[in-house]
Each structure stands twice: as C-alpha cells, then as structure tokens.
Structure 1
C-alpha cells in the first residue's frame, strides 16, 4: 500500500493558491483514476483505489500547511505504514513554475509543511513530488514569499501550471507502476 499526501491549506479561499498545488495535483490524479475523496480520517479528506496491483490511499490534510505532519503521522499509524510507503506532493519555490521533480529524502528546503511532516514522522526519508511555483518577482514591489505562495496563479502562469499538474499526475502513475528511478528519469525536468 502507498499513501499519497497532497499538501495545501483547507478552504475555498485557498483552493487556487500556489501553496495548494499539492491538493490540485491530487485532485487531478484522483479524477484520472476514478477515485473520490469520500472519507474523513486522520485530520484529512481521503480516497482509496488501486493502480495496477498497488492499493493506494490519497489524503488531503485538513490541518493548515504548517501542521501537515499531524495528519501524516496519524495516517501512517492508521494504515500501519512506514515513511518509505508515502509520497508527498508539494509546491516548491526553488523550481521554476511548471517544472516537476521526484526525489527521495532531503531537507525541508524552507517548506513548513514538509518540515512539519519530517518532525512528526521522525524522518526525512520519504518520496516527494515537487511542483515548481517559482520565486516571487523581486521587481514586483518586493512581494514577500508568504504573499507569493498564498497568491493565485494568473493568466499564462495558470496555463503552465495546468500542464504541470497533468504531468505530475502522470508522474505519480509512473512512480507507482515503474518505480522512483524510472519515474525520475522520465519526469524530472
């Protein structure tokens, strides 16, 4: 069994935010695989299904981003899983908008949701699917990082991100069917 956690903030007011790209990707993946988020469990909205012979649980923590680890640790206990069984889908400021990268382990890189998960599950050794949201434009009146991640994608950027989310959904399927090395070689951009 694999647990795929998409990171984001709950509530309609956050649904289009850059910081919610993990939720957006998981919604796309669920739609592509006919999975609905029909349960509430472990501080999360969850859905389950199968990809080939692999049972999967999808989870969107309903804590705010900075407390995502609370949900992740409860989900691991509930399903009797180890960190090696989880995949976290996250936004990444250090990747240009629309780029994706699969990676095992590593630091939180300043991402508070990832930091919370590392703290609460006690390890950083889990797979991440990072979706680039780019850094704030320094010429844009000094937009702060918080304003950037909580801002919505606009116009051309939205089109780029829609394609990235589709590609990230495909990367998840490849990861589950072919493994990390093959998926990384195929999708890391």
Structure 2
C-alpha cells in the first residue's frame, strides 16, 4: 500500500493557487482512475483506489500548508506505513513551469509543507516536484505561490495534470523513469513527422523530374520534318522532263 500526498491549502479561496498544484494532481488521478469518493479523515480528505497492481491512498491535508506533516503522520500510523511508502506532490519554484521531477529524500528548500513533513516522518520520502517557476525575487515568493495560475498558464498546467495521471501507475510501481516520460509526452509531445515526410516527398518528386528522360518528338513534328523538301540533292531528270514540267 502507498500513500500519495498532495500539498495545498483547504477551501475555495486557495483552490486555484500555484501552491495548490499538489491538490490538483491528486484530483486528476482520483478522477481518471475511478477512485472512491473523497471523505474526511486524518485532518484531511482521503480516497482509495488502485494504480496498476498497487493499492493507493490519496491524501490532501486540510491543516493548511505549514502543518501538513500532522495529517501525513496520522495517516501513516493508521495504515502502518513507513516513509518509503509515501509520495508527496508539491509545487517547486526551482523548476520551470510544466517541468516534473521525481526526487528521493533531500532538504525542504524552504517549502513549509515539506518542512512540516520532515518534522513528522523524516526527510526520506519520495517527492514529485511540480515546476511553477520563480517570480524573480524572494520577496515576491509568498504572493506568487498564493496567487492563482494565470489564464496563459492553463495549457501547460492541463498537460502536466494529464501526464501525471497517465504515468501514475508507473509511479506507484516504482518506475520513476516511465512516470516522467509519460509526463514529458504530454507536456512536450514529439513533433509530427508530416512536415518532414512532406519535404521528403517533395524532394523525391523533384529528383524524379530531374531523372525523367526527354520526351520524344511528336509524330506530327516527325512527319513534318519527313515531308519538308530539301535543296541539297541534285535534280536528275532529263532536259525534256524539266522543259515539260514548266508547261504544267
């Protein structure tokens, strides 16, 4: 059994915040993989389902970000899990928008939700770092993460959520590479080969035109050339025949 934790703040006021991207990821997984309805438990919202061969509990702590560890610790104790069974989805300032990286253990880098989890369960859990970009100066960070995603960001955000859902079973089974690949295929899909094929076809046609042999002259041109009189051959008629020809 695994515990997938999404970080965010509870309530409609914060629902669209960049800081709530962890909540958004779990909502996408629950919806696409037909998890049971959400219910209140462990100072948060939980639901259960399966990803591949693994049973997974989804948890959205409602203690507010700074106390997320309380909810996570309570759920772990109830299900008798260890830090190795925990995967935390959270916003990451140090990654470009739309980027996704899986990391095992490490520091909290000033993220208050991670700081709280460190205090309650240890740092040695898996993190899914979801890039939201940096506002450019540390004094602007609080306002930036507590602001809603802009309309211009919705396309990459939707692609990121779909990619997370696509790869969720791989993540549950411990294949982080396939999970990240599934996300990348949504966020940065391979370019269509149609343009290249079209160029190759065009080039092929061009080469074909160059290789095409010269067309033979038409029969009409040949016939005209055959009947055209020539002046190079001598007149072999007798003098009488030439004289009679003048009176015809």
Match of 2:83 in 1: 83
Q: Which residue of 1 aligns with 2:243?
A: none
State the alpha-carbon separation in 1 of the partners of residues 64 and 43 from structure 2.
10
Report the counterpart of residue 102 of structure 1 in structure 2: 102
Please give the alpha-carbon distance, in whole angstroms, between the structure 1 residues aligned to 2:13 and 2:154: 17
**Alignment partner, residue 133 of structure 1:** 132
Residue 81 of structure 1 and its aligned partner are, at CA, apart by: 0.2
Alpha-carbon distance change, 38 to 182 in structure 1, aligned in 2, over 3 angstroms = closer
Deviation at 1:182, TM superposition (A): 4.2
Aligned to 2:68, what secondary structure does the other structure show? Answer: helix
- 2:204 paired residue number: none
Residue number in structure 2 paired with 1:164: 160
Gaps of 5+ in 2: 188-248
CA distance in 2, matches of 1:104, 1:186: 19
Q: Which structure has greater helix proportion?
A: 2
Shift of 1:186: 5.9
Q: CA deviation at 1:165?
A: 1.6
Query: Superposition pairs for residues 170-185 of structure 1, below 5 Å?
Result: 170-177=166-173, 179-184=175-180
Cα deviation for residue 166 of structure 1 reads: 1.5
What is the distance in 2 between the residues matched to 1:53 and 1:166? Answer: 20
Aligned to 1:40: 40
Q: TM-score, normalised by structure 1?
A: 0.91
Note if contact 2:100-2:180 (Cα within 8 Å) is conserved in structure 1. Answer: no
Q: How far apart are the structure 2 equivalents of 1:94 and 1:67? A: 22
CA contact (8 A) 2:164 2:182 kept: no
- Residue of structure 1 equivalent to 2:111: 111
Cα RMSD for the two superposed structures? 1.9
- Matched-pair contact (CA < 8 Å) for 2:22–2:91: yes
CA distance in 1, matches of 2:135, 2:28: 25
Long gaps (5+) in structure 1: none
Q: Are 1:152 and 2:148 matched, yes or no?
A: yes
- CA deviation string 1:115-138 (max 9, x = no partner): 1001111x1111111110100145
1:58 aligns with 2:58: yes
* Aligned-partner Cα distance in 1 for 2:155–2:179: 23
TM-score by length of 2: 0.70
- Aligned residues, how many? 185
Note if contact 2:164-2:179 (Cα within 8 Å) is conserved in structure 1: no
Which gives a bigger RCO, structure 1 or 2 (Cα 8 Å, sep 6+)? 1
